[in-house]
């Protein structure tokens, strides 16, 4: 009889093979390149001038693909500082699968015509939003589930994310171009609920984990830099019209700067130690960006971004100091990378801010931008109050879906949908994983069992 | 009575809060988004074609914002290799505040209309130049002042930088698009004079510091990469017309390549050890870029950039070997990150080269580019010699302003403008800081006292 | 009499000086900026609208220069994870010289008019392809030759690369925009043959080397991120028309995602250890990108990229497990960074795939894209079968040239073209180098002898 380690290694191998084969078959059956992304319809050069001109204007957006697809890696590096490079291999696995899976599901919902999905560069950007949400979710359980479970979590998480996004953006007409609700809030609470379902009886090991987070602070430096590089363009990637971009972009920068200042205001007061860890600044940067996800393109004055960013920057220090221990001790929710403080609450704050701004939106203040940000409001089909209520209901709906979906996913992972019948054996497997987790200080290795 | 550590932590917290609140109030009162960065004036889509086309041409510039704003972080990482990750948190604080402050001051000088500052994406790029100068200045004193002092240094440094830049670029019509004089020379000498004012009686500790610079050489690798990625676009970010860009861009690449070769020529001769530290290559890269700041868009033949870069690449090895010890032992100037060798002298060399090239500029060699690079020369309002003299006087003026401003700022920091009355207590506080400095090897922590 | 270490340090210094001076002289004599990259011909602003518009469409390509030139650094970081930061200084030296040299040679072959080379931003991108091939070649011998030998290897390697590229792309009309054959296959086999010629009698030291590769796995993380950021745009940088880009871009992303999955399928089966090293994922990423070099713009359905990427991702784990030990023990070929598994074989696979796709290319499937990808096929001057045979012969020709050139270069390096007469002394010098190699664990230092 083979050892348990061998079994779980082969299980991971088989699951990867199965999922990739399945994805390839679906791609073969359904996915085609969109004709718009090629000059296929224009064979005579002289007539192509209009098209070339259009594609010239499109090119910066194609360039975005380079940057946005990498956003996931920004996340990755951001997580490294908390969980060590041991988990990075797993995170890349999540990313590689999530992008393919999100492309397929979003394609079926948005770009399905004549039995084929027509995909272009923009599809890749949208798929990356799904991958980002999946990575946020895994942040809550990183180091406590094995890669095979991580794949199942990704499969279900991306599916629910796509469903939620479709309901919010397409059906309800909610404006959330940077994903305060769809990416940050949904991803964080989905992950937290999964973590709640996978709670372990011996919680003292967790405190220890927090301490081992310091050595790879090199990653926090690199992560912070990646966030400053890639996040503002991420937040503005799906805003429909290029010319509306700069405001969201600049607002995000302002918000990140102010949230960094906020951490320097609060940390010296909260902590006795006279040192400030890089990872705290990184948390502030993420929070400052998350709060601008929805409101970024709605804010018409820069100081609003400064205030929102300052408030968002206060959340992570307070959260790690007071909320995370409370969640852990009372609600039995372990949050390995602190996604609740860094993505969840700032996302909720961003959604509330977006609701407020939607309620205040007037044609006077927005001018021609109104139809870009709130097309249905500008078209007269909807009042300001209705739009604001929809923005708020988007938050509640996402929380509901994330909660239910997280419980479901957690139950699936516990039940042993990964080929294990008894939950006892699942626990045993987890302990093997924990042993692997102890080797985490060895850089660059990822437990496969 | 609270401990001194607590007092200085609370002082930092209070100062951050004060500055951020003050900035938010100023933003609220004065800063608005520029209407050009939005399609606000164009509500009917059919009429927007011209505007969209324009903004299409503008888009790459907006993209620049992503990259340039990060330049500051390139600096950051570049400094890490000398001062350790312990100082990075402080540097990010400097950056977060400097960008906001530079935006405000530059806005008042350049974009103040009808009682409001109208800012767009380009304002962000300009503000980043100010932040870069501030970061260079802090490089001279990194690890020897506390974060609160760093903030005051930033406040005064950015103010003087903006003033100097305004005089040079707007009043005198000097051409310095990449900041050889305004950013590198000004930043370096300002920092050196501040360092001179903050000199400490026991200088032996410094030699030791130099040695501890080796472990984080990982940062030198990442820093060098960041420099190659971001600096050429930084150097060319503010050149007025997109079509003039490529020359400055390519010249910067050539200069960086040649300065790297120069380090390999000189280092084996100067040092007995058979090893070459990554940080030396990084220094060469910075020097090669600094020398192209002014001359980049003036050089009409690529080999000029190779020669200038080669000469600039000789400066850091010679400087660290002969000049830095001399400055330290004779002039009592400690230069923690060696900004004099890496930014100061190459910047001066770049300014001299720019002077030479301005004196040689003819319409024959430049063609239509003349009006882009030297608009007043092309317009006939100024002769070649006058332009050259102005370029030279810009260097002298910057050195003067940096010197006076640095002395003033150093005096302010010494005097205890940070809430301390007696200079004895300030010294005591510094010693606390030095103790913190000894913990610097612990990665990712920043002393807050 | 000076020590041998001093001699070889001065030799390196002299060689660098010589090569840089020689390059500067050639640049001074021949290289000028291309007038297209400046608005030189357009002195009246009103008439410039057309030109500005054109350059507006060109701008994203200029932006590419920023990114592509850095690709070399992506390689660099990728190699770090195997050979340690000790070699990075040498690699940057290679890069700095290779870019200048490739610019000159490619200029003579492609852009030589009226006695001058007219270079623009695009020339820089092409030169970077040469630098990339040189860096791949050095990957096979990294840590076993001294920097002076590395420079000679670069000199000869870039020369042969340029010759090979000229024959393939310009004379034969082969389509290989991403360099599956010209960059990956040529670079890898050239390096392997050089390595074969420089074989050392005591091969047991090599096994040990493999083990020391683990600590700097931090670099594998950064390297993988750099690859995801820069490679897709590298692969598509030289495709003639912007509008054909997205397919190659998206295909490369798909291929990289699938090859990552493949590594997770195969590694658990091949290795008993329950850990997956980051460097394996990096290898998969490179392989997935290399296989798309030629076929990227030919694949009209995304699932083809997934399948090709999946197959390419299987090569590195199999290669490192079975092929590398075989090459080492039987053929006496040491492959320090495993370029054969990561660049060589995936490049060959990509060439075979490109041959197949060229043979299947029909105007129906490609539409207007046909003339972009296969201009001579679309023009009627060539049949599908002829194009396919040419693609195949390109592979064989490259292998032949790489083999002959590698043997020649290795012989030159052995003979002591670096100022040493007796081969015995060359060996002695190498042993000095090996001693330096033992210090490799000290980060950030590079042996100069």
Q: Please, which chains are in contact with C (at least 3 CB pairs closer than 8 A)?
A: A, B
The reply to whether residue C303 touches residue A85, judged by beta carbons under 8 angstroms, is: no
Please, where are the H alpha helices in C296-383?
302-318, 324-330, 339, 345-360, 363-366, 370-373, 375-378
pLDDT over 90 at C398, yes or no: yes
Question: C236: Cβ–Cβ under 8 A, 6 or more apart, which residues?
Answer: C177, C178, C245, C248, C249, C252, C296, C297
C441 touches chain B (CB under 8 A): no
Give the distance, in angstroms, between the CA of residue B128 and the centroid of all CA atoms in the same chain: 9
Are A409 and A141 contacting, i.e. CB atoms less than 8 angstroms apart?
A: no
Alpha-carbon separation of residue C430 from A309, B265, C109, C190 (angstroms): 58, 21, 36, 21
Are C258 and C306 contacting, i.e. CB atoms less than 8 angstroms apart?
A: yes
- What is the per-residue DSSP string for C433-449? HHHHHHGGGSTTEEE--
C65 touches chain A (CB under 8 A): no
Q: Please, which chains are in contact with B (at least 3 CB pairs closer than 8 A)?
A: A, C
The reply to whether residue A96 touches residue C268, judged by beta carbons under 8 angstroms, is: no
B216 versus C152: the higher-pLDDT residue is C152
C12 versus C168: the higher-pLDDT residue is C168
Per-residue pLDDT of C173-200, as tens digits, reads 888 888 889 889 999 999 999 988 887 6
Q: For residue A420, what pLDDT band results from cuts at 50, 70 and 90? A: very low
A218 touches chain B (CB under 8 A): yes
Which residues numbered 305-334 in A keep a CB inside 8 Å of some CB on C? Answer: none
- Tell which residue, B161, B8, A298, A146, has the closest CA to residue C275: A146
Question: C416: Cβ–Cβ under 8 A, 6 or more apart, which residues?
Answer: C422, C423, C425, C426
Phi, psi for A302 (deg, rounded to 5): -60, -30
pLDDT over 90 at C163, yes or no: yes
pLDDT over 60 at C367, yes or no: yes
Q: For residue C162, what pLDDT band results from cuts at 50, 70 and 90? A: very high
pLDDT of residue C79: 59
pLDDT over 50 at C33, yes or no: yes
Question: B252: Cβ–Cβ under 8 A, 6 or more apart, which residues?
Answer: B178, B231, B232, B235, B236, B288, B289, B292, B296, B305
pLDDT of residue B223: 72
Are A195 and A140 contacting, i.e. CB atoms less than 8 angstroms apart?
A: yes
Average pLDDT, chain A: 74
- Tell which residue, B341, B363, B349, B344, has the closest CA to residue B292: B349
Phi, psi for A67 (deg, rounded to 5): -80, -45
Neighbours of B233 (CB within 10 A): 25
Neighbours of B207 (CB within 10 A): 10
Q: Give percent of chain A above pLDDT 70.
A: 70
What is the SS3 string spanning B69-127? HCHHHHHHHHHHHHHCHHHHHHHHHHHHHHHHHHHHHHHHHHCEECCEEEECHHHHHHH
Rounded CA gap, A153 and A158, in Å?
A: 8
A369 touches chain B (CB under 8 A): yes
Question: All domains of chain A, ordered by start, with CATH?
Answer: 58-429 (1.10.3430.10)
Per-residue pLDDT of C271-316, as tens digits, reads 766 566 777 888 888 899 889 888 888 887 888 899 999 999 999 8
C98 touches chain B (CB under 8 A): no
Per-residue pLDDT of B176-212, as tens digits, reads 888 889 889 999 999 999 988 887 655 444 443 443 3
The reply to whether residue A225 touches residue B76, judged by beta carbons under 8 angstroms, is: yes
A445 touches chain C (CB under 8 A): yes
Q: How many CA atoms lie within 13 A of C154 on its CB side?
A: 31
Mean pLDDT of A318-343: 83
Are A33 and C302 contacting, i.e. CB atoms less than 8 angstroms apart?
A: yes
A80 touches chain C (CB under 8 A): yes
Rounded CA gap, C339 and C316, in Å?
A: 9
Residue with tokens 């003050």: B22
pLDDT of residue C350: 93
Residue with tokens 């718009």: A36
The reply to whether residue C10 touches residue B268, judged by beta carbons under 8 angstroms, is: yes
Per-run averaged pLDDT (10 residues), chain B, 449 residues: 68 85 86 58 35 38 50 55 65 85 89 82 80 86 82 92 92 85 92 85 45 52 71 64 64 88 85 70 87 83 90 90 84 80 92 90 76 78 87 93 92 68 32 33 36
pLDDT of residue B348: 93
Are B31 and B108 contacting, i.e. CB atoms less than 8 angstroms apart?
A: no
Question: C411: Cβ–Cβ under 8 A, 6 or more apart, which residues?
Answer: C197
Rounded CA gap, B357 and B345, in Å?
A: 18
Rounded CA gap, C43 and C39, in Å?
A: 8
Phi, psi for C118 (deg, rounded to 5): -100, 110
Nearest CA in chain B to A58: B56
B277 touches chain C (CB under 8 A): yes
Are B395 and B355 contacting, i.e. CB atoms less than 8 angstroms apart?
A: yes
pLDDT over 80 at C220, yes or no: no
* Burial zone of C352 (CB within 10 Å; 0-12 exposed, 13-18 middle, 19+ buried): middle
Rounded CA gap, C89 and C150, in Å?
A: 12
Which 3 state secondary structure label does DSSP give A275?
strand
Among C5, C37, C92, whose Cβ lies nearest the Cβ of B260? Answer: C92
pLDDT over 60 at A47, yes or no: no
pLDDT over 70 at C426, yes or no: no
Q: For residue C13, what pLDDT band results from cuts at 50, 70 and 90? A: confident
Which 3 state secondary structure label does DSSP give C61?
helix
Pair type for strands A445-447 and C275-277:
antiparallel
pLDDT over 90 at C210, yes or no: no
Tokens (6 digits) for C293: 């070099």
Provide the sign of the torsion angle of the four alpha carbons C299, C303, C305, C310, taken in this order.
negative
Are A66 and C395 contacting, i.e. CB atoms less than 8 angstroms apart?
A: no
Calculate helix-pair angle for B384-415, B186-197, nearest 10 degrees: 30
Range with lowest mean pLDDT among A47-51, A385-389, B34-38, B296-300: A47-51
pLDDT of residue C433: 34
The reply to whether residue B274 touches residue C444, judged by beta carbons under 8 angstroms, is: no
Rounded CA gap, A340 and A360, in Å?
A: 29
This complex has an ipTM of: 0.79
């Amino acid at each position: 009889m083979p050892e348990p380690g061998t079994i779980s290694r082969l299980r991971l191998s088989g699951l990867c093979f199965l999922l990739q084969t399945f994805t390839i078959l679906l791609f073969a059956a359904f996915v085609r390149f969109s004709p718009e992304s090629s000059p296929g319809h224009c064979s005579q050069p002289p007539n192509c001038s209009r098209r070339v001109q259009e594609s010239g204007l499109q090119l910066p957006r194609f360039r975005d693909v380079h940057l946005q697809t990498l956003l996931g890696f920004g996340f990755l590096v951001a997580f490294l500082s908390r969980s060590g490079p041991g988990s990075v291999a797993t995170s890349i696995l999540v990313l590689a699968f999530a992008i393919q899976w999100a492309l397929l599901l979003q394609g079926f919902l948005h770009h399905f015509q004549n039995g084929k999905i027509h995909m272009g560069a923009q599809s890749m950007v949208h798929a990356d939003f799904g991958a980002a949400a999946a990575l946020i979710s895994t942040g809550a359980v990183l180091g406590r589930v094995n890669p095979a479970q991580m794949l199942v979590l990704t499969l279900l998480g991306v599916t629910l994310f796509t469903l939620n996004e479709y309901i919010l953006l397409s059906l309800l007409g909610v404006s959330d171009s940077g994903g305060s609700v769809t990416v940050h809030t949904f991803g964080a609470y989905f992950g937290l609920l999964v973590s709640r379902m996978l709670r372990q009886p011996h919680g003292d090991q967790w405190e220890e984990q927090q301490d081992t987070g310091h050595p790879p602070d090199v990653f926090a430096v690199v992560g912070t830099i990646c966030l400053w590089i890639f996040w503002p363009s991420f937040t503005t990637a799906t805003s429909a019209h290029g010319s509306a971009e700069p405001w969201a972009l600049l607002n995000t920068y302002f918000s990140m700067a102010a949230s960094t200042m906020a951490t320097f205001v609060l940390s010296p007061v909260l902590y006795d130690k006279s040192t400030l860890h890089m990872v705290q600044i990184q948390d502030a940067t993420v929070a400052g960006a998350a709060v601008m996800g929805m409101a970024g393109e709605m804010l018409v004055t820069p100081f609003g971004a400064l205030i929102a960013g300052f408030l968002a920057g206060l959340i992570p220090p307070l959260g790690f100091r007071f909320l995370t221990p409370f969640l852990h001790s009372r609600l039995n929710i372990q949050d390995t990378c602190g996604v609740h403080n860094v993505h969840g609450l700032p996302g909720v704050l961003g959604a509330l801010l977006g609701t407020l701004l939607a309620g205040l939106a007037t044609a006077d203040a927005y001018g021609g931008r109104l139809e870009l940000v709130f097309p249905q409001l500008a078209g007269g089909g909807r009042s300001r109050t209705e739009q604001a209520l929809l923005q708020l209901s988007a938050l509640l709906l996402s929380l509901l879906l994330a909660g239910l979906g997280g419980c479901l996913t957690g139950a699936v992972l516990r039940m042993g949908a990964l080929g294990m019948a008894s939950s006892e054996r699942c626990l045993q497997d987890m302990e093997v994983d924990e042993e692997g987790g102890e080797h985490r200080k060895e850089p660059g290795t990822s437990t496969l069992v």
